[in-house]
Structure 1
Amino acid sequence: MSRAVPDLFLHNVNVLTMNHLMPRASWVAIGQGRIIGVGPGEPPLGTCERPARAIDCQGATLIPGFNDAHCHVLATVASLLAVDCSPATVSSIEDIKGKLETRSTQVTNDAWIRGTGYNEFYLQERRHPNRWDLDQATSDHPIRLLHRSGHAMVLNTRALALASIYRDTPDPPGGIIEREEGTGEPTGLLLEMNEYLDGVIPSLSNVEIQSGIGLFNDLCLALGITSIQDANPGNDLERWEMFTDFKKGGLLTPAVTLMAGASHVHQFVQGGFSFGYRAHGLRLGAVKIVVTMTTGVLQPPKEELRRLVRNAHLGGFQVAIHAVEAEAVEEAIDAILLGAEGSVPGALRHRIEHCSECPPRLINKLALNGILVVTQPGFLYYSGERYLAEVPGDRLPWLYPIGSMRVAGVRLAAGSDAPVIPMNPMMGIYAAATRTAESGDALLSGKAVGVEEALSMYTLGSAYASFEDGVTGSVEDGKWADLALLDRDPTVVDSEAIKDIRVVMTVASGKVVWER
C-alpha cells in the first residue's frame, strides 16, 4: 500500500482482481490515476484517510475495465450513424427497404444513404438484397448497404454507376462483382471491394465523425470498456493523427492501441515511430494483415503474406493476422514461424485474429510456438444458429474451440470485432462460458471455458496481447485504475443471467467517468 492519500476509495465491494496471488478483495484505494492499495477484509489504518471521494459499493462486483482486443472504431462510428439493418431491427428485405426509404426523406438531395448490419441468413427471403431491391427504396440517392461481416456490400443502381461498375467491368484483384445469370449484369452485391470503392463512397464529414465518436465513447463507457485495440487494416499516419486529436480533445476516454495497416507501416517507420510508441493515451500496436479465403483463393498469396510478416518481425513489430478459415489459419501460422525464424518463440506475442476454424493439430502448433489467439466468442451467440445450419458437421468441432485452446496452453484474448457484432463484453463472456446461440441451441459445450477464464480473456488476456499487462488488466498495486463495477458477480449467478449483467460504474485512470 502506497502512503499517498487516495483520491478515490472503493469499499464494501466484491473485487475479482484477475491476480492469482490475491483473487478476491473487498476494497481498492486509488491515487493519481493508479491503484495504490487493494486487499481483503478491513483496510489498514489510514488507507481511507481523507480520500477526495469514498464510495460504498454495497457489495457490487468490481473487475478490471474491459479491454476490447479487436474492434474497428471508425467503422463502428459509421454504423452508429447509419441505418441499422441488423437482425435485431429487420426480419425481411421489405423491412430494409422501408428503413432506407425513410432515411431518404431525411437527407439532402443526392446524399449517400448508408445502411449497415444486414445478415441474409436471418432475413425471411434467405438471400442478399440486390440493386433492384434497393432501387425500390429510392432511386434519387446512391445507397450502400453493408453486410454484417464488413466483407460484402450491396449498391443500388445509382451507386453502381457512380462507382463505374457495369456489365463489362472486370472483377478487381481479390474482389468479386456478383452478376445476374444470363445477362451478366451486376446484381449490386460486391465481395471484398472496400478498398476498390475508396474515393467513390464519400468519407464521413468532420462533423459526423465528431458526433459519432461521442456516441462511440459513451457506448464504451456504459459497457465498462476502458481500453480498445483498433484493428483496421487501413490505419495509417493520418489515422494516427486523427486519433491523437480525439484523445487530446477529450473525445475518446478509453486507452487506444492503434494497429498499423500492413501497407502503411512504412509511414510510421519513416515518421520515427516504433512498435509500442505511446503518446496522449494512444499506443502504436501490431501490424494488421488480412488473410482471406472469401473469394475461394488465398489473399494475399502465400509468398506476399510471408514477406509482410517477415518485414514486420524484422522491424520489431508484433503482427496481428486476420484468419478465419482453417486453411487461412494454417497459412498465417506458417508465415509467423518463417517470419520469426531464429527468434525466441512468442517473444513478440504474434497474434492470430479470429482463428474461427482451428482443428486440433493447429491448436497444438499455436501453443508450441507461443502464438496468441484473439477470439470473438460473441459470434457463437449472434451467429450460432447459422453455424449449425451451414458449417459442415466435421468442421463444427473446430469452431471457436476456446476451451481446447486454453487446455493446450494457447494464450487467449477477446474482443468484439464491432461493428460486426455488438461490443458488449458480457455477451462474449456468456458465449465463451456456455457456447449457447441466440436461438438457445448449444454449440459443443465441451469447448467452453469457465466464467473467470472468460473474464480474464477480456481483461488481463487482452492486456497481454498488447504488451500492457504490466500496467493494466488486473486490480493490483501500481496498475492504472481502469475498473468496471457490475451489478452482479458473473462467477456465482446462473449462467443464463450472465448476459443480463449490467455495468453500474466505470473508472478510467482513477476517475469515475460513467455511472448508471
Structure 2
Amino acid sequence: MTIPAAGILFREVEVRGRIVDVRTRGPRVVEIGERLDPRGGGGTRSEDLFECGGAALLPGLHDHHLHLHAMAAARQSVAVGPPAVTDRDGLVAALRAAASSAAPGDWIRAVDYHESVAGPLDRDFLDGLRLGVPVRVQHRSGALWVLDSAALHHVGQRIPLDSEDVERDPAGVPNGRLWRFDSRLRPGLPATDGRRHRDALGRVRDTLLSHGITGVTDATPDTDAAAIAELAAVRPLHVHVLGAPADLPLGRGQSRGPRKLLLRDHDLPAFDELCRTIDPGALGPRRAPVAVHCVTRESLVLTLAALRECGPRRGDRIEHASVAPADLDPLLVEAGVTVVTQPDFLRTRGDQYLASVDPDDLGCLYRWATLESAGVPVAASSDAPYGDPDPWTVLRTAAARRTEAGVVLGADDRVPASRALDSILRPLAGPGAAPRAVEVGAPATVCLLDRPLADALEPGGGSPVRLTVVDGAVVWSR
C-alpha cells in the first residue's frame, strides 16, 4: 500500500557510518544534518516522522538479474526439486497431490526439478504416474521443460514442434523434453487466468519491496509487448528490461537494458553466427550492448572470442559466468564486461555441484573476489525464481560461500557482505558503476532498516527492512 506524504523526516539514522537526520520532500532528499527541526504544526503535519534509533538508511536495493513473470508463475506451481523434494517417492507424492486438487481444465505446472531426485524425466516417466491431468515440469536451470503425452498433444496441435530443441526418441517421436522453449511454448498452452497472474505479480512486487528492493533487471529473453505491458502490475518497482524489442516503447517505470542473448549450452552457435547476432549491422563499438547468458566454460570462451571480434561496447554484460576459469580473466578485462553473478547458488545448489560438477570447474564457480582483483566488475543478483529473491541472504552467502552442508566453495572468492551490498546499490543501467548514496538531491527512494548496517549483514540475521520508500512515498512497511 502506498502512503503519500509531503515529506518524511528520518530521525537518527545511520548514513555511511554517521548518525544524522534525513529529510525528504516530494521525490528527493532535501536535507541531511544533525537534529533537524521538525516541520509542520498547527494541527497539521507536513511530514511524517520516523524515530530510527541508529538504524541504517540505504538507497533502494537493486536485483540485477531476475525473471518477474516466472516468479509470478512459480507462485502458482508445485516445487519438485531439492530441498522440497529429494527422491522419486517425494516427486510422485507432490505431483499426485497437485493432481488431486486440480480444477477441471487445469494443468500441473511443476518447477525446480533436478536429476538428483529421480534421474532424467521424459514423457514416458510422467505418463506412468497416471495423474489424469496434463503436466509440465521445468528443470531448475530454467532451460528445459518436460511434458507428458497429454500436454505434448495439446501443445503440438497449436505450435510447431519441428525444432532441433525438441528431443526425440529412437523412432523420431518427441519424447516430451523441450529445450529453451519458454517463449515458443507459451502460445501452445491453455489460456491462463490473466487476473490471477497479475495478482501473483502483485505478490511478487510486495515480496521484493519487503526486502528493500525498489528496482530490478528482468533478464527474460525475447519478452513480447504483452508480457512487458503486464509488468505494470509491479509498479512502483522500476523494471530494467533486457528482453524488450528494440522498437517497442516502454511504459512508466520501465527502461531498456542491453539486448539479452541466451546461448543454448547443449547446442552452442557457430562463432560466425554468434558474431552476426552480437553485431548484425557490423557497427563495431557503435552496436547495441548485449547481455550474454554463459553458464559453462565453453559458452564463456565462445562469447569472449566473439566480443573480441566485434569490439567492446560500453554496457556489455556476462550473465552468470557460472564457470569462469582464471585464464580467461584477461579476455574479460579486455572485453570491458560486467559479470552479473548469483553467489547464493553456492548455498542452495553447492552440495549438488560437489557431486556433479567436473572437479576442474569447482574452483571456477561463481567467482567474485578474484575476478574483481583481476579488474572485472562483479554485481550480485538472485536469478529468482531459480534463486532466493532475498538480497540479504545473497549478500551473506557472498561472504560465506558455504553450501547447506557447510562446505566452503572457493574461499579465495569470498567478499565482505558490505562489498556485495555495494553491488546491489549500483544503478540498474550500470551494474559495474559506483554505488548510489543517500545524499542531498538524490531520489527519495530508500529503505530503512531496523538495525545498524553491520548488524544487518551478520549471518543468520533475517531480513532487516522496516520501511521501503519510492519517490518519497512509503510503499511497504513492516
TM-score range, shorter chain: 0.7 to 0.9
Cα shift at 1:495: 4.5
> 2:336 maps to what in 1?
370
Q: Answer 1 or 2: higher relative contact order, Cα 8 Å, separation at least 6.
A: 2
Q: 2:296 aligns with which of 306, 313, 325?
A: 325
Matches of 1:377 and 1:311, distance apart in 2: 33
Equivalent residues of 2:156, 2:188 under 8 A apart: no
Distance 1:229 1:312 in 2: 26
Contact 1:172 1:196 in 2 (8 A): no
Which of the residues 128, 153, 172 maps onto 2:163?
Answer: 172
Given that 1:176 and 1:192 are in contact with CA atoms closer than 8 Å, whether structure 2 keeps it comes out as: no
Counterpart position of 1:255: 238
From 180, 191, 195, give the equivalent of 1:192. 180
SS at structure 1 position matched to 2:201:
helix
- Note the 1:117-516 alignment, pairs <5 A: 117-121=112-116, 123=117, 125=118, 127-135=119-127, 137-164=129-156, 172-173=163-164, 175-177=165-167, 179=169, 188-202=176-190, 204-243=192-231, 245-246=232-233, 251-260=234-243, 264-265=245-246, 267-268=247-248, 279-293=251-265, 295=266, 297-298=267-268, 300-311=269-280, 314=283, 317-339=288-310, 341=311, 348-460=314-426, 462=428, 464-465=430-431, 473-489=436-452, 491-492=454-455, 495-498=458-461, 500-516=462-478
Instruction: Describe the shift of the 1:237–1:191 C-alpha distance in structure 2 as closer, same or farther (beyond 3 A).
Output: closer
SS of residue in 2 equivalent to 1:95 = helix
Instruction: Return 189-198 or 141-150, whichever deviates more.
Output: 189-198
User: Which AA in structure 2 matches 1:83?
Assistant: V
Q: Identity percentage over the alignment?
A: 29
Between the aligned partners of 1:58 and 1:93, the Cα distance in structure 2 is 51
Q: Is the 8 A contact 2:211 2:463 kept in 1?
A: no
Deviations 1:213-259 (A, max 9, x none): 1111111111211001111112133333333x43xxxx522111112
Q: Classify 1:491/1:107 alpha carbon distance in 2 versus 1 (closer, same or farther; 3 Å).
A: same
Which one is further off, 191-200 or 450-459?
Answer: 191-200
* Residue 52, structure 1, aligned to residue 14, structure 2: no
Paired residues of 2:99 and 2:131 also in contact (CA < 8 A): no
What amino acid is the match of 1:146? Q
1:31 aligns with one of 17, 20, 25: 25
Deviations 1:266-323 (A, max 9, x none): x43xxxx5xxxx6511112211111232x2x31x332222112214894753211111
Q: Answer yes or no: is the 8 Å Cα contact 1:66–1:225 preserved in 2.
A: yes
Indicate conservation of the 8 Å contact 1:291/1:332, yes or no. no
Q: TM-score normalized by structure 1?
A: 0.82
Superposition deviation, residue 193 in structure 1: 3.4
Cα distance in 1 for partners of 2:192, 2:425 equals: 32
Q: Deviations over 1:421-441 (max 9, x none)?
A: 121111211111111112211
CA–CA separation in structure 2 for the residues paired with 1:383 and 1:145: 19
State the AA in 2 paired with 1:304. Answer: E
Find the residue that maps to 1:497 and give its secondary structure: coil
Q: What is the TM-score of this pair, normalised by structure 2?
A: 0.88
Q: 1:242 to 1:186 in 2, by over 3 A?
A: closer
Distance 1:368 1:26, change over 3 A: farther
Backbone CA RMSD of aligned residues: 2.9
Instruction: Give the count of matched residue pairs.
Output: 465
Match of 1:12 in 2: 12
Give 1:350 shift: 0.9
